[in-house]
Structure 1
């Protein structure tokens, strides 16, 4: 076994960033980067925005060109899937039958999209997870007339906005009372529902899907549990995802489950370590958050990159000081740019700090237990950035409100 060999499973932004950071910090040993897609690593946020709309082509999403990848001196194994791991033996078995010994294993396998139990195999039914999904959906939207989006989270709402700009008839369905209510609460969710309706989307929240309806093997509608049926020639299923950890079952790597601990994925400490010599980063990883006093997974691109830099640095300088990442994410819908620091929740108290929801230009704080948990901005990027320290330091909400009034 090579004690300094690093095996990274997952070749998206987090896996690549671990490799790049380790090299920048002076790691000279072997780095194996395993990815189940055949494309070189690419960026995912544009999949539901610029790529889907046709504004960008696929090549623009590439994170590094081949020359830059060659310069990292990686053993790059694309189109290869990890089949299993053994933490005690320190091995990873790939689907081509090869077995990799490792000194350090970094798990960056991300998530897999959930599917509906009835009708998902019909032609015209899509998920949107990787670049091939996005290209297939883009091609479908060019000839489609009626799109139903099942799931009104960030992904579903962004695709609905793109499809309306392309001129499709769009219905947005979700069992929750407002779009993005699970992420941003009812106040912002109600505003977003109004925005989508103003742009011609048929927003049907508070109603669940009973089944996808087919005709001749192709989707023709979506049956809802209120007894109605929405016609559709294309359906996007955007009903969340689950961590890609099936290959780790029985490996000895600690895995969480949704339920009592409220957290699934690979269970890590605040530096991304799951076991000595085993780390996890990105969407698959449940890091300990000292500010919140619990673990959570954050399915956002910039958090994945921050975690990867911490782990890549730690491979060379294990005692380097770590500042817990402050989650940051954004969403583009029509002429709105929503940006978020922290992790808001529907149960948090909502406090408007500046601007107006009616004008779709505001900054707001989300508070729980008397402290700020997150700040959200809509079309006020510069003002929002000034509130990031309040999230990082868990500032008392009263202090934040006093500051906002005096500003």
Structure 2
């Protein structure tokens, strides 16, 4: 069997990959949905935007479902704490996500302007809310979440929904949605022509620059105003799932300790910044494919930066320090992690291969003329 501590580290990496996959794949259609009421100036242009993501948006939801399922199976205690502490936030996300299939399917059923405009705004809400809340959640993870664990390993959340809406959390939420808009605008640059294409280039430029600025601001804020967590004793990488066995302290600058001890990790936030600036340069140069690759790299860097900063912590507690969850003490059994690993190694390449094929077959430029010629079988 594979060593227990190696399996724990591998599953930390896999869940990070799933989070990045969700942000990259679902991020492009959420970015397009966020821009829909503003970038499309008439019904044809909005239909171009909708149909650019129509073949893929539902398949991209697989990353969200797989990430939640993997978290439940690999980190059951984290899942229990997160889904009780972030319960109302999760409900808001699910309610928003429910609007998306309704908007896609019902928008084109009636040709009335008011009908279609209403569904456009529903698609906007379903696209803008999840990235903002996910960003707010990441901001709160870095600050610590108010929860406690009793001797029977039963977690209790002691905070409130509105307590999550603190200034640093909101900054991370704004960064998240701007980053997603950047990625969605680059996708529109790749798939559209004419005046819609020109407006997408402008939005991509502004969103890319804003992403870079907000990412740097978040890093400076973390350095100056967000204290990190350090396990000072009792943390056994190969030990059982018992968070209460360790001692944890809060220290200023602790979230940068991993970068200090292993300088190569600085490449992760550098990717986030370089991807944003590179994406702006590529889209201004008229190179759509490199631009969307750059925005995907931006998402990779921005999502992985807090995960690397917090390692091995995955859910710090602000009210009961030793209850803070790490990858070493909130995981499932060795056998469970090993079975999951084998299943993932089989099916993840299949998902990637199918996704690549789908984008290759259903790619190409869209314009108003194509929409008008195929109006009866398009959204």
Q: What TM-score comes out, normalization by structure 2 length?
A: 0.28
Q: What is the TM-score normalised by the length of structure 1?
A: 0.26
Choose between structure 1 and 2: higher strand proportion: 1
Q: Which has the higher contact order (CA 8 A, sep 6+)?
A: 2
Flag the structure with higher helix content: 2
